[in-house]
Amino acid sequence: MITHYFYPILIVLLLTNTYLFSQNNLVESDTSKTLVKLNPKKAATLSAILPGLGQIYNKQYWKVPVIYGGYMVIGHYIKFNNEMYFEFKNALLMEVDGIESTINPFPNFSKSLLERNMEFWRRNRDLLIIFSGVYYLLNIVDAHVFAHLNEFNINEDISMKIKPSLKQINNSNIIGISVKFNF
């Protein structure tokens, strides 16, 4: 449980940390546009601190709702699977307790079927918890990779050149045609 001191401390740390929000982006001049070099380590660190912050640093604002929407969906299904797990667990306890006043809410389910359903919902809940950790790591990797890929020059020059070529292999000249693709 997060104490009431956590949020003010987090805000002070984020506002006073000059490393995270410093403006040391290098600008390269290109004839068509300027290219801002992003720091991949900084993008990954920001995404590790708060999911989506690295995407904001990379100026991929559209990814932030996708990230948090994914967390909401995963959280919903974790909650649903947990509720179903406890429902079948309580039904199993009511089935085996031997007290006649407690009635199993699933009268058509045997003890083994209740156990199987209980384990099914528990396993799904646990897998979703693991998946939420993987989703968190993918968020960090996405910010890191995009910061690396951002510095590549993307222009409209896609061309193919066909030229004659002369190669020397084993003291003999070979005449041919070379094809060069420029992406």
pLDDT tens for each residue of 56-72 = 999 999 999 999 999 99
Alpha-carbon span 87 to 95, nearest angstrom: 12
Tokens 């407690």: give the residue.
102
Alpha-carbon span 63 to 55, nearest angstrom: 7
Helix/strand/coil for 101: coil
Q: Is the pLDDT of residue 156 over 80?
A: no
Give the residue ranges of DSSP H helices in 150-176: none
3-state secondary structure 14-55: HHHCHHHHCCCCEEEECCCCEEEECCHHHHHHHHHHCCCHHH
Helix/strand/coil for 134: helix
pTM of the model: 0.64
Question: What average pLDDT does this structure show over 114-127?
Answer: 96
Residue 162 banded pLDDT, cuts 50, 70, 90:
confident
Residue 9 banded pLDDT, cuts 50, 70, 90:
low
Phi and psi angles of residue 61, each rounded to the nearest 5 degrees, phi first: -60, -30
